[in-house]
Amino acid sequence: MWEFLQHLNYWDWLALGTALLILEVFGAGGYLLWTGIAGIIVGLVTFVIPELPWTLQLPLFGVLAILTAVYWWRRQRGKAESGDQPNLNQRGHELIGRTFVVQQAIVEGRGKIKVGDSVWIAVGPDAAVGTPVRVTAQNGTVLSVEIVP
């Protein structure tokens, strides 16, 4: 083992990085992607500096794996927070503020409104069929509405 470690070269690192990238294809969820990229970078550094001892190659690999993973994690987190669709996968939230027409009269605070090709339960002030209403809130499958003046 010591013999192998003392003679690590760029082919070993490129092979490790490639193997990790291939394993990532089978569904590791991004975990092996960044370690594979770190292995390839260490392989390139070892190609440029062939006399780099293994005692520096291994820590370099570890540091690069952590840095690339943290970089990607921060980048993805930033995209999730500043996305152009903050209500994605929150059915009903995208309806808040939009105006629709009463499908079934709202009587005693409960009725139905037509939203696209579906009908949602609506709660709010009494309104006749055809009255325009604006969605103010959502609670599960029930939309709170107000009459549009």
Instruction: Encode pLDDT of 65-100 as tens digits.
Output: 999 888 888 887 776 555 566 666 667 788 889 999
pLDDT of 115 higher than 70: yes
What mean pLDDT do residues 8-15 have? Answer: 86
Contact in structure between 125 and 111 (CB atoms under 8 Å): no
Which pLDDT value is given to residue 19?
A: 93
Domain boundaries, the chain: 2-81, 93-147
Percent of the chain residues past pLDDT 90, beyond the cut: 49
pLDDT at site 140: 85
Residues 6+ apart with CB under 8 A from 17: 36, 37, 38, 39, 40, 41, 42, 43
Looking at residue 2, its pLDDT comes to 62
Q: Distance between CA atoms of 124 and 136, rounded to whole angstroms?
A: 10
Residue 143, pLDDT score: 92
Q: Is the pLDDT of residue 28 over 60?
A: yes
Q: Which helix (H) or strand (E) holds 26?
A: none
CATH of domain 93-147: 2.40.50.140
Mean pLDDT of 22-47: 88
From first CA to last CA, the distance across the chain in angstroms is: 80
Q: Average pLDDT of the chain?
A: 86
The pLDDT value recorded for residue 141 is: 85
Residue 147's SS3 state is strand
pLDDT tens per residue across span 41-56: 999 999 999 888 888 9
